[in-house]
Amino acid sequence: MATSYAGLLADKLESDGEKQQARLIRERLARAPMAVASAQGAGHGHLLGQMPTDNDSRLNTVDYSQPTLDNSEVLLPDAIEARLHEFIQCVEHHDALQSAGASVASRILIYGPPGTGKTQTARWIASRLKRPLLTVRCDTLVSSLLGQTSRNLRRVFDYAQQLPCVLFLDEFDALAGARGNERDVGELQRVVIALLQNMDALPDSTVLVASTNHEQLLDPAIDRRFPFHIPLPLPDAALREALWRKLLGRFAPEDLDWSELAALSDGATGATIEHVSQDAKRKAVLAGQANAQKLDLLRRLGLTLALAKGERLTTTEQEIRWLRVWAPKHFTLRALVALYNLSMRQVQNTLNENKGPRDGIKEKAQPGKKKRQPQ
């Protein structure tokens, strides 16, 4: 309670122009024990004072949030989950470990393809530790102004030290790798050096999470500063099934064969499964149905996977041919007739054209016409 009032007082002083007094109070609050500090942060995110911004674009470089366990759930392979729990333990028992001479830096690097749950895992870490999450999209730190990138970096790290938090550097390779891109090599090296210095100066009360799609691009000196490396692979069949079960929830189609769905979604990320589930649920709700329809769900999945493979299915005919090849057991003639509201003959004609899904549909539009001879 006292802390909350102190926070309010600081706000009041600041709005009355007493900036110096307000700053002193906030500094004192920042040194308060963690439980107090996070309680105070819960009510007033802005107690942290002025957010850092990029001088060039004037955009905030940090986003403040307070994930909860409810909205940050993530399903991961057992071994990876175990590593994450170990990390949480190391942070929670940092002091005890330190007095035993066995502490490790509270830094974790998460890497894997887009959509595998890296950002969600960072949210989960913050909620497990009951700390606010400060998210930095590293590409927004990289300024067009020479020297400004290192300044942005310092502001972010200074800001993050004001109270116990999880500092999350998303798209980390934009800062810590990016060798090989067009920018001036000297400037890049300065950024990497600035990053190393800031990381080394960060107190143990700040947990650092970094995520990247391109782990191999990271500078080795930076890579070595992360005692925990967490790879997030594409989900295997068992994990895909768990994701479907969780995300479809009570909207799951009644006649669904889960393991078959898991097999058909080979190559899908958690993000894809979430996206398809949400679409199917939305459709069910809008149609006043208690469950999603199996064929509709499979169709959405098939089309999303086609897109991910770079197939451009722009016509109904292309869709039909793709679905038929992808899951012939489900997309029977009869099913396609019902799904697309076509006659049996139209579906048959479409399939008999026997072309890849990519081929044009012009010929189909004029079925009687002979193919044009090459000139």
Ligand X SMILES: Nc1ncnc2c1ncn2[C@@H]1O[C@H](COP(=O)(O)OP(=O)(O)O)[C@@H](O)[C@H]1O
Q: Which residues make up the interface to ligand X (CB under 6 A)?
A: 74-76, 114-120, 243, 270-271, 274
Q: What is the DSSP pairing of strand 133-137 with strand 63-65?
A: antiparallel
In the list ligand X, Mg ion, none, the entry touching 75 (Cβ below 5 to 8 angstroms by class) is ligand X
In whole angstroms, how close is the CB of 81 to ligand X at the nearest point?
10
Q: Which SS3 state, helix, strand or coil, does residue 107 take?
A: strand
Q: Is residue 218 within 8 Å of residue 115, measured between CB atoms?
A: no
Sheet bearing 165-170, strands edge to edge:
63-65, 133-137, 165-170, 206-212, 107-111, 228-231
Q: Give the binding range for Mg ion (CB under 5 A) out of 50-58, 66-74, 98-106, 117-125.
A: 117-125
Q: What is the DSSP pairing of strand 165-170 with strand 107-111?
A: unpaired
> Token digits for 114?
């887009």
How many CB atoms are located within 10 Å of the residue 317 CB? 24
Q: Judged by CB, which is closer to Mg ion: 119, or 150?
A: 119
Q: Is residue 76 within 8 Å of residue 231, measured between CB atoms?
A: no
Q: Which residue has the tokens 């769905």?
A: 261
In whole angstroms, how close is the CB of 274 to Mg ion at the nearest point?
13
Q: Judged by CB, which is closer to ligand X: 129, or 268?
A: 268
Q: Give the binding range for Mg ion (CB under 5 A) out of 21-29, 32-40, 112-120, 159-167.
A: 112-120
In whole angstroms, how close is the CB of 114 to ligand X at the nearest point?
4
Q: Judged by CB, which is closer to Mg ion: 119, or 350?
A: 119
In the list ligand X, Mg ion, none, the entry touching 271 (Cβ below 5 to 8 angstroms by class) is ligand X
Q: Judged by CB, which is closer to Mg ion: 119, or 205?
A: 119
In whole angstroms, how close is the CB of 239 to ligand X at the nearest point?
7
Determine, following the binding rule CB under 5 A, whether residue 119 of this chain makes contact with Mg ion: yes
Single-letter residue type at 175: L
Give CA–CA dist 93/116, Å, rounded: 29
Determine, following the binding rule CB under 5 A, whether residue 269 of this chain makes contact with Mg ion: no
Contacting positions for Mg ion (CB under 5 A): 118-119
